[in-house]
Amino acid sequence: MDVVCPWAYIGKRRMERAVADLPGVEVVWRPYRIDPAAPVPAEPLAEALRDPMADDLLRACSPGLTPAGNRERVARIAAEEGLGPTWGAAWRANSHDAHRLIALAEPYGVQDAVVEALLKAHWIDGADISDRAVLARVVGDVFPEGPALLETDAGDRRVRDLLLEGKARGIRTSPTIVAGERALAGAQPPEVIADFLADAEEPRELPEEVSRYRWAESLLDQRDPLGALELLQPLLAEHGRDRAVRLLAARAWYASAQLRKARAALEEFVAEHPDDAYAHALLGRTLQRMSEHELAEPHLRLGSAMGTPV
């Protein structure tokens, strides 16, 4: 979820009602960014809404309603959920640091309280939650360690990895509830959430490096090779000689036009694994793109002869 999404706050209230009678449900908050281009420092929301592009985006989010009509609708629903008495954001705020605090709060056991404080600050108090001084005041009582951590780079890599994992999972909206391998998009009614959670299967516990590899592979399939490489960094550092990791990284370097890195990795790879048809074919394609056609030809022939189409 994203703290600058009004449906996230509404969804939080509905989730609380849904899990009240479900024993053993643990809610863990993960980041999503609905406006990753939001500036730092923040800009007044009224000013941002005068941008015609913002108007078009808001209309796409609420078909059949004007942006003003949609804001009135959301405010009404928020009031029905007990949120208020005032309602409405005052700032177009970048939420990255807020998400860092949420991620950092998890091992301290105060994540839900931090999420509540941030949502209230943005949607009810009209605070600028992109401002670190404001964030320190907002979470200081519930997460005393947070303000000092915020002045470092703590949590930055964790948030970026979680955002990439969400993209790899196919998360496309805020809020989305994930239970096991299933996802429920939107701030659904409590009874829908309760039924969804009651039917959820226990997630399979995979080693962290296996999950990271799977998410990187998914991002590459979604044509996000740079995101895949970011998730692969720890695997390359710790398991850099693993055959699957090396080949996936080479694919990502090729797809992101980092051809020198792809070539070096693949030349070493095929020297060690001369029977790998795909590696020969990919090396051939890499050399072709580098205009090394004579060098590419034998690898392309080998790849084709061993069954990998080129």
Task: Report yes or no: 179 and 197 within 8 Å, Cβ to Cβ.
Answer: yes
Backbone angles phi, psi at 39, to 5 degrees: -80, 160
Q: How far apart are the first and last CA of the chain?
A: 42
Q: Which residue has the tokens 């998410």?
A: 215
Instruction: For the chain, 310 residues long, give each residue's pLDDT as a single digit of tens.
Output: 999 999 999 999 999 999 998 888 899 999 999 999 999 999 998 888 887 666 555 555 555 667 677 788 899 999 999 998 899 999 999 999 999 999 999 999 999 999 999 999 999 999 999 999 999 999 999 999 999 999 999 999 999 999 999 999 999 999 999 998 899 999 999 999 999 999 887 777 889 999 999 999 999 999 999 999 999 999 999 999 999 999 999 999 999 999 999 999 999 999 999 999 999 999 999 999 999 999 999 999 988 887 765 4
CA-based angle 98:101:102, to the nearest 5?
Answer: 90
Helices (H), 81-189: 96-105, 111-123, 132-139, 146-150, 156-169
**What domains lie within the chain, and their CATH numbers?**
6-198 (3.40.30.10), 208-305 (1.25.40.10)
Peptide bond just before 41 cis, omega within 30 deg: yes
Burial degree of 253 (CB within 10 A; 0-12, 13-18, 19+) = buried
What's at 280, amino acid-wise? H
Q: Is the peptide bond before 309 cis (omega within 30 degrees of 0)?
A: no
Identify the bridge partners of residue 182 per DSSP, sorted by sequence position.
179
